Amino acid sequence: MAIREILEVPDPRLKIVSSPVEADEFNDELKTLVEDMFETMYAAPGIGLAAIQVGVPKRLLVIDLQQPDEDAEPETDEDGVERYPTKNDPRVFVNPEILNPADELSTYQEGCLSIPEIFADIDRPATCTVRYQDLDGNTHEEQLEGLMATCIQHEMDHLEGIVFIDHLSRLKRNMALKKLKKMRAAA
């Protein structure tokens, strides 16, 4: 396994529309890419990553929401605050498609490993069904809600060459890009 470089805006590769993973590409190379994507995502850290974010223009994404595990014993952190340990739930979606997105919207403050330190409220359909293939090429359908529904829609945008700040008004997007530039200059 290896940590790969995460592309950041304005890298033009982030605007590529990714191509389907073909039937003969469900192989060890794909499994290695997925392992590397998880390692890269956990190290960042983040909760979702599309293949194009590591420079591979394929319709593939990984998600692990790493939510608190309320069945576990709470742990006390260095500030004396009790927290549940996070639970790993690694998910792989190959050739995902969104079916019947809800009319009802929900709003989350989104961020993206390709746009570090920038966060903004984005509205998206609150629930949706995703049809996808697993690493063996089998097709599944799953109803999603909450953060998972938002996260998969964010990651699927990457497959179309779209990043979350593209959903903002031009004014807000320009402000975000300016802030990013300023932070990079200061780094």
Q: Taking Cα atoms as reference points, which of 34, 33, 6 lies closest to residue 158?
A: 6
Q: What minimum distance in Å lies between the beta carbon of 77 and Ni ion?
A: 27
Q: Is 22 labeled as catalytic in the residue annotation?
A: no
Q: What is the closest distance, in whole angstroms, from the C-beta atom of residue 9 to Ni ion in the complex? A: 10
Q: Give me the residues that bind Ni ion (CB under 5 A), please.
A: 112
Evaluate whether 163 touches 115 at the Cβ level (below 8 Å): yes
* Shortest distance, position 158 Cβ to Ni ion, whole Å: 6
d(CA 106, CA 124): 6
- Quick check: 55 and 161 in contact, CB under 8 A? no
Neighbours of 33 (CB within 10 A): 19
Amino acid at 125: P
What are the tokens at 165? 């700040």
Residue nearest to Ni ion (CB): 112
DSSP state string for 82-98: EEPPB----EEEEEEEE
Residues marked active site are found at 155
